[in-house]
């Protein structure tokens, strides 16, 4: 099975998730700057979630450059990832509307954690589908970022439980370490002279 | 006529259906876990409908791997399937908001049934378009799952009428038998050395 | 300029329009069949608009099979068509919520008319872009359906002004004459042994 | 890295943005023409924003015809552009609901300005990724429109601050100068006999 339709479907879902969240941004009640300021929390979390979905799209894109064939397990592992990502608008909105209360912050952290684990499982499913000589396995290497991210999310979720909104710092840190472009696969593609 | 645009359009519609349902998940009214619990029914049916759409996408994807050319009848049979699937957010939301009342459960069952029949009709339309030596006809074989599913949906709809929410067990059973990956087409593709 | 991205973008917009209308279907207020009946008007107009968008997608798909290259004018003629189609959810919803009142029926008719004219303009733009020996021009031929449809829409709009809801019959007639698959292009493609 | 998935994802996001704005068009409260007239502001700004997104899609489409390979920086520059475009429904709705009040008009202008700058940055990122002999750099040439647009947006934003709704004239002027099809790249493609 080729990867083109899996990529197209994932692109569609991610495009919708990233765009749908703007519907949760409540239009200010009045015409003044102070009215806009009431939307500030919403704006901040919108940016954060936009960046997360952007990162996932980016990594997904890099990853599938090195995948030649997929099977049914990979399709479901991919849907599983999309499921957790599809909940971002929900947990983001809950966090906003409660002004960053503790439980919604924990729920958001758990959502981020679940998506990170789902991404990891998707990678494993691809490794298995491609066998021992898969390109992705070699390109991913030790995958430090992929292993550290869930730990930081977990720490952030605990911090949310204990201390509330400062947990957002943990969540933002993960975004920051991924925003640095992941050159592993680009360089792997370049070194090995691979073209799609 | 080639299948690429039909697949792209179907991917788009399915991606939107699967994502739009998250908009029906009402953000909890308060910041506590108990407030989230009020969304529990919604969450359960969201998962169920997500899995259904995922299954249809998965099967659609497998099916069109073996289809080379389509005609106008296939395009309309495909739109007919998408129509019933597009009603899932509506019937899912009705079921949620009435806390799994009898009539909405029946309506949901009829919706599932209609989609299953539409999928079957789409398969027939492809058989006819491809003629006697179509690959899909051979790969599908006896199609036990495809024939049993509508019967279970029918049984579930009757159970909903008589007994209410336990009907969800029937609906979940169909999801379960499809979640087991459909290896018919994968193995057919593998055996015959087909590449797209 | 090749047509692939124009097709992909149009598929995306049409997929969203066709799916977004389900959000306008108000979930019934109660759990009984009578509550569902209150949504009946909405359901009818949803089906009608779904069929229209389906027809446009279908015709668009057939048309661009015979188009090899596009220019900036074609891109804008296509966006112009998408603009009028994007208003369908709006005029459909207005018609529903006023229980098929006269002015909304007229507005809906004008919307249908504008889309039909936009489709005609798009065809002309393609004719010009492809020159005298364009395949599409030859395949379209006299284009009876394309010329009759705007006239029936116009008659329907007048009927809406004079008589209200019976105008829906006119609108439905246009849908019916297009639902009969347009074999012109399929047969043209078959006769000339064209493959994409 | 090839550009196909970047284009597909951008098409998806732009298709959603352009379509989602119709959800902000409030269905008139009553069945009369006067009720529709209350939506007139909304309709005007809908048309304006539809045209803007159409222009961006059009230019994006032209631009990526001349781009062969992208890197991680280009992916993020593209997401950055999509971010500002995704805010159009929000700022458009705020402007509508406050009947073109001063602050929302300024916010809209700043949003337009940010998107124009993001487009410019995307172009620079592509220049860098392609090196000194990139096709796009040569085709873009002096890029008068691209440099003048942000200045007019800036003037419009100032006008909004000082004089309110007349600022829309400035915003409309930019749309007008872009609606004239950008023949630079079309002619460049034609002259150099490039085919994708």
Asked if the structure places residue A83 within a domain, the reply is yes
Which residues 49-108 of chain D have a CB within 8 Å of chain A? 71-73, 75-76, 79, 82-83, 86-87, 89-90, 93-94, 97-98, 101-104, 107
Closest CB from A16, A79, A101 relative to B16:
A16
pLDDT digits (tens, 9 = 90+) for A94-134: 888 888 889 999 999 999 999 999 999 999 999 888 887 77
Quick one: which H or E segment has residue B12? helix B4-24
Asked if the structure places residue A61 within a domain, the reply is yes
Percent of chain A topping pLDDT 90: 33
Q: Quickly state the pLDDT bin for A84 (edges 50, 70, 90).
A: very high
**CB distance from A17 to chain B under 8 Å?**
yes
Instruction: For B90, name the nearest residue in chain C, comparing CA atoms only.
Output: C27
- Name the domain count of chain B: 1
Asked if the structure places residue D196 within a domain, the reply is no
Which string of DSSP letters, residue by residue, matches C55-101?
Answer: HHHHHHHHHHHT-----HHHHHHHHHHHHHHHTHHHHHHHHHHTTS-
**Is D15 within 8 Å of C16 when comparing Cβ atoms?**
yes
Q: Which chains touch D (3 or more CB pairs under 8 A)?
A: A, C
Q: Quickly state the pLDDT bin for A81 (edges 50, 70, 90).
A: very high
Asked if the structure places residue C23 within a domain, the reply is yes
Q: Which two tokens stand for residue D69?
A: 């390979």
Which string of DSSP letters, residue by residue, matches D9-41?
Answer: HHHHHHHHHHHHHHHHSPPPSSSSHHHHHTTHH
Best mutation target among D12, D88, D115 (most A Cβ atoms within 10 Å) is: D12
- Report the distance separating Cα C151 and Cα B36, nearest Å: 55
User: Can you tell me the mean pLDDT for B42-56?
Assistant: 88
User: Can you tell me the mean pLDDT for B40-59?
Assistant: 87
Q: Which one has a higher pLDDT value, A24 or D35?
A: D35
Say what the pLDDT of residue A195 is.
47
Domain ranges, residue C97: 4-191
Closest CB from B22, B62, B183 relative to A90:
B22
Asked if the structure places residue B196 within a domain, the reply is no
Rg value, chain C, Cα: 18
Which residues 128-187 of chain C have a CB within 8 Å of chain D? none
**Is B13 within 8 Å of C12 when comparing Cβ atoms?**
no
Question: How would you write the pLDDT of chain D (196 residues) with one tens digit per residue?
Answer: 678 889 889 999 999 898 888 877 888 888 888 888 877 778 888 888 899 999 999 889 888 888 888 888 899 999 999 999 999 989 988 888 888 889 999 999 999 999 999 999 999 999 888 887 777 777 777 778 888 889 999 999 999 999 888 888 999 898 888 887 556 666 666 666 554 4
Say what the pLDDT of residue B49 is.
87
Q: Choose among D77, D107, D113: nearest CA to D90.
A: D107
- Report the distance separating Cα A18 and Cα D86, nearest Å: 9
User: Can you tell me the mean pLDDT for A72-94?
Assistant: 92
**Is B72 within 8 Å of C18 when comparing Cβ atoms?**
no
pLDDT digits (tens, 9 = 90+) for B145-193: 888 889 999 999 999 999 888 888 999 898 888 887 556 666 666 666 5
Q: Does residue A190 carry a pLDDT above 80? A: no
Asked if the structure places residue C130 within a domain, the reply is yes
Say what the pLDDT of residue C196 is.
40
- Report the distance separating Cα B19 and Cα B8, nearest Å: 16
pLDDT digits (tens, 9 = 90+) for D132-170: 777 777 777 777 888 888 999 999 999 999 988 888 899
pTM, full prediction: 0.86
Asked if the structure places residue D78 within a domain, the reply is yes
8 Å CB contact between A150 and A120 = yes
Report the sign of the C-alpha dihedral through residues C121, C122, C125, C126, in that order. Answer: negative
Q: Does residue A183 carry a pLDDT above 90? A: no
Asked if the structure places residue D80 within a domain, the reply is yes
Say what the pLDDT of residue D191 is.
67
Rg value, chain B, Cα: 18
Say what the pLDDT of residue D129 is.
86
Segments of chain C scoring below 70 in pLDDT: 1, 181-196
Q: Which chains touch B (3 or more CB pairs under 8 A)?
A: A, C
Q: Does residue B138 carry a pLDDT above 80? A: no
Chain C residues touching B23 at Cβ < 8 A: 23
Q: Quickly state the pLDDT bin for A86 (edges 50, 70, 90).
A: very high
């Amino acid at each position: 099975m080729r990867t083109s339709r899996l990529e197209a479907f994932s692109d569609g879902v991610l495009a919708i998730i990233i765009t749908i969240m703007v519907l949760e941004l409540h239009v200010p009640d009045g015409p003044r700057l102070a009215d806009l300021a009431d939307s500030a929390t919403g704006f901040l979390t919108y940016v954060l979630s936009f960046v997360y979905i952007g990162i996932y799209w980016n990594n997904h894109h890099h990853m599938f450059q090195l995948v030649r064939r997929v099977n049914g397990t990979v399709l479901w592992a991919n849907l599983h990832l999309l499921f957790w990502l599809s909940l971002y608008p929900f947990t983001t909105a809950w966090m906003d509307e409660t002004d960053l209360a503790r439980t919604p912050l924990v729920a958001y952290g758990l959502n981020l954690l679940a998506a990170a684990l789902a991404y990891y499982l998707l990678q494993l499913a691809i490794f298995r589908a491609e066998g021992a000589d898969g390109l992705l396995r070699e390109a991913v290497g030790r995958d430090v970022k992929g292993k550290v991210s869930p730990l930081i999310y977990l720490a952030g979720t605990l911090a949310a439980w204990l201390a509330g909104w400062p947990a957002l710092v943990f969540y933002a840190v993960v975004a920051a370490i991924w925003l640095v472009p992941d050159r592993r696969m680009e360089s792997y593609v370049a070194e090995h002279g691979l073209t799609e």
